[in-house]
A = this chain, B = another copy of it.
Amino acid sequence: MSVTAPKGFRAAATAAGIKDEGLDLALLVADWGCSAAAVFTTNRAQAAPVIVSREHLAAGQARAVVVNAGCANAGTGEQGLRDARETAALVAREIGCRPGEVVVASTGVIGVCLPMEKVRSGIAHVVPSLSRDGGAVAARAILTTDTRPKEAVVEFPLDGHRATLGAMAKGSGMIAPNMATLLAFFTTDAALDPRLLHRALREAVGVSLNRITVDGDTSTNDIAVVLASGAVPVKAIMEEGRDYDAFRSALTQVARKIAGMIVRDGEGATRVAEVRVEGARVESEADRIARTVAESPLVKTALNGGDPNWGRVLAAVGRAGVDLDMGQVDLFLGDVWVAEGGRARDYDEARARQALAEDPIRIRVRLKEGRASGWMWTCDLSHGYVDINAHYRS
């Protein structure tokens, strides 16, 4: 069900021919105007749909989201902007809203213009099939190198009623902190002030989608959007408090589920690891160290081989650009304390190897600099990653 689980949303998808085969155009439509919020890629190279959707969402309102896979509409200049705007206008005309209420998202190859003839006929084709059961098919249509759809739903109590939060996402490669190639769409039948909705989204993404890395490459096209239909018959959440906390908690829960699915489906991923850093001076330094370990090709290939090569973790900690006393660094693989004060302990190699067979693998870095901590999720670097990316365009 995913994005159509909450009341007030319909979805559909079609094979518009933008990809060589399969579903590639998804449409999500609310029954009426929703409050809406989004966060976007931090890459300075921003795809046309990112630029257009940012404009459209400035007022905190949206009615529909149209997503295509197979073409990122990035590196396409003015033509790309015209195409993204036309896509929004086509959807608006079909469903009866302003173009500015349509969010546009694209994923796929960079540097190629959208095949607008196919987009036009795809939109004409997809609108009549919008349905309250369309969430699953929409979740399939937004995928690229993903091997499976990512969907999640939670219910949460809201002022004596049950509200629902649903999500679909794509993301497999070009995944790095700060919204790498990742499209995530959240819907809820709660109602919220758009500014509160934005705050909740930023906080939820900060502890979920911004904590995963596959290859450290940040995309040009990332967007995470939330639409709140307000179909549940309770009053809108207009300030912080118990209801806001319930919503934010549900959004965080769903976003973390989605993040876990993405890293587990990372391109070529065969293992997943959580890197935790404790005892840092400030959170940003803990995060920086966790990210450096999580993105290290040598750590990631060791994960692939199931090799408890903690020396590579130590080396990554040392090059993270954080001022720290390496003579006070402890390392743990799972429950095995492998290094103390920056040097090897007399640990059981078989147990350390066993820790690399856990799911997720747990890498813990303990510093003695302060009390701040941070974490990242990552996956291994495998033959599969190379296969997928060496010939992606071909």
Contact = CB atoms under 8 A, between A and B. Distances in A.
A90 interface: no
Interface string A321-344: 011101101000000001101111
B110 A319 contact: no
Nearest to A221: B315
Nearest to A308: B393
A367 to B, nearest CB: 12
A218 to B, nearest CB: 4
A323 B45 CA distance: 11
A87 interface: no
Interface stretch (A68-76, A196-204, A246-254): A68-76
Given A80-B343, A111-B344, A344-B112, A315 B390 contact: no
Contact of A382 (B46, B339, B386): B386
A278 interface: no
A219 B315 CA distance: 6
A366 B110 CA distance: 18
A74 B297 CA distance: 19
A151 to B, nearest CB: 26
Interface stretch (A14-22, A229-237, A299-307): A299-307
A387 B302 CA distance: 10
A205 B79 CA distance: 45
B314 A111 contact: yes
Contacts of A341: 77
Contacts of A76: 343-344
A59 to B, nearest CB: 25
B174 A318 contact: no
Interface of A: 42-46, 72, 74-77, 79-80, 109-113, 173-174, 176, 215-220, 296-298, 301-302, 304-305, 307, 309-312, 314-319, 322-324, 326-327, 329, 338-339, 341-344, 381-383, 385-394
